[in-house]
Amino acid sequence: MAKPRLWITRRLSDATIERAARDYDTVVNEADTPGSAAELIAASAEFDAIIPCHSEHFSAEVVAQFAPRLKIVANHSVGVDHCDLPALAARGITVTNTPDVLSDATAELAMLLMLGAARHAVAGDRIVRTGAWDFWSPSFMVGKQVTGARLGIVGMGRVGRAFAAKAKGFDMEIHYYNRSELPADQAFGAAYHSSVESLLGVADFLSLHCPATPETTDLMNRDRFALLPRGAVLVNAARGALVDEDALLEALGTGQLSAAGLDCFKVEPGGNPAFAAHDNIFMLPHIGSATTRTRDAMGFRALDNLDAYFAGQTPRDLL
């Protein structure tokens, strides 16, 4: 029996590609560039399965032009806001994602963003790196202390809970907003807030860990930034769509926010060029899950879902 034909849209980990090549008739996009709409449409006639990343966009318009051969889209990501799920379901295409395996790596990066933003990492690195460090005083580079501070978490899913667990190591007072209150044994002693607005009032540090949906687009806007304690720090290692970037710049300009740590942006790749002028924005290029162990685990989870589907079983991570 012929192996199912699989297109891998980006250069995944070596271990993932080796396993895929063993079990499937695999084609890898060695150019490692985002799959275009035309390429996705063409692939639907040539492949039984696709493993895409967040860089490929399965819009309703694109999916409407798919050939009937494509049976499953096994995402190499947790977020699926790049997929029009109703459109894919209407075409009978199974969709999966890769939860669980990237929570710790993403939470680690959120901690890096929080610490880097709070302690002037951008300015400090630039001063030393350029040879401009020729001065010291007790008032030099004074930042915001994380230990013992109040942390607000929006979204206590897998990543939010992993971040809360790490924040406990800094003796932070943790508060969270979630669609529903967690059982006490999952909340790490955090105080539950039934609204975002209630949470914001106590968040010296605010970390976003919710998905991008129509309801959460521009979740942090001008009005909500104004509800934070003055001098708060924003951390976003989730999705760029969650933050109104113009409102963020305004809040930084007035001192309502003292700093921000960002791993995601409205426009990716590229980010927001206006941010580059602000040393109090600590930025990374959407690399929350970028560790060797996590990339292998994500690739294997996507392949596990394919294996189950082609064995006639329900994939573990069916959406």
Of residues 110, 106, 135, the one with CA closest to residue 123: 135
The reply to whether 239 belongs to the active site is yes
Query: What tens digit of pLDDT does each residue of 11-69 get?
Result: 999 999 999 999 999 999 999 999 999 999 999 999 999 999 999 999 999 999 999 99
Q: In this structure, is the dihedral angle defined by the CA atoms of residues 74, 76, 81 and 82, taken in order, positive or negative? A: negative
| 286 within a domain of the structure (yes/no) | no
The reply to whether 76 belongs to the active site is no
**305 phi-psi bin (left φ>0, alpha ψ -120 to 50, beta other):** alpha
What per-residue confidence (pLDDT) applies to 42? Answer: 98
| Arithmetic mean of pLDDT, 67-77 | 98
Q: Going by C-beta distance under 8 Å and a sequence separation of 6 or more, which residues neighbour residue 136?
A: none
Helix (H) or strand (E) segment spanning residue 94 = strand 94-96
| 112 within a domain of the structure (yes/no) | yes
268 plus 301 within the same structural domain: no
Residue 26 structure tokens: 């695999």
| 315 within a domain of the structure (yes/no) | no
Number of alpha helices (DSSP H) and beta strands (DSSP E) in the chain: 11, 12
Q: Which of 239, 245, 295, 301 is catalytic?
A: 239
* Nearest-angstrom CA–CA distance, 202 and 275: 26
Q: Which long-range contacts link 187-192 to residues 24+ away (Cβ below 8 Å)?
A: 187/156, 188/161, 188/164, 190/153, 190/156, 190/164
* Nearest-angstrom CA–CA distance, 62 and 46: 16
| 317 within a domain of the structure (yes/no) | no
Helix intervals (H) in 47-176: 60-63, 85-90, 103-118, 121-129, 158-168
232 plus 248 within the same structural domain: yes
122 plus 269 within the same structural domain: yes
Q: Which of 19, 54, 193, 286 is catalytic?
A: 286
* Nearest-angstrom CA–CA distance, 73 and 52: 7
The reply to whether 286 belongs to the active site is yes
Of residues 19, 7, 82, the one with CA closest to residue 45: 7
* Nearest-angstrom CA–CA distance, 252 and 230: 10
What per-residue confidence (pLDDT) applies to 1? Answer: 77
271 plus 217 within the same structural domain: yes
User: pTM here?
Assistant: 0.91
Residue 181 structure tokens: 């209150």
Which domain, by its residues, includes 41?
A: 5-97+292-310
63: phi then psi, degrees, rounded to nearest 5: -60, -35
The pLDDT of residue 312 is above 90: yes
| 285 within a domain of the structure (yes/no) | no
Q: Which of 30, 61, 268, 293 is catalytic?
A: 268
| 273 within a domain of the structure (yes/no) | yes
269 plus 128 within the same structural domain: yes
| 131 within a domain of the structure (yes/no) | yes
262 plus 199 within the same structural domain: yes
Task: Give the CATH number, domain containing residue 220.
Answer: 3.40.50.720
Structural domain total, the chain: 2
Query: What tens digit of pLDDT does each residue of 205-239 get?
Result: 999 999 999 999 999 999 999 999 999 999 999 99
201 plus 265 within the same structural domain: yes
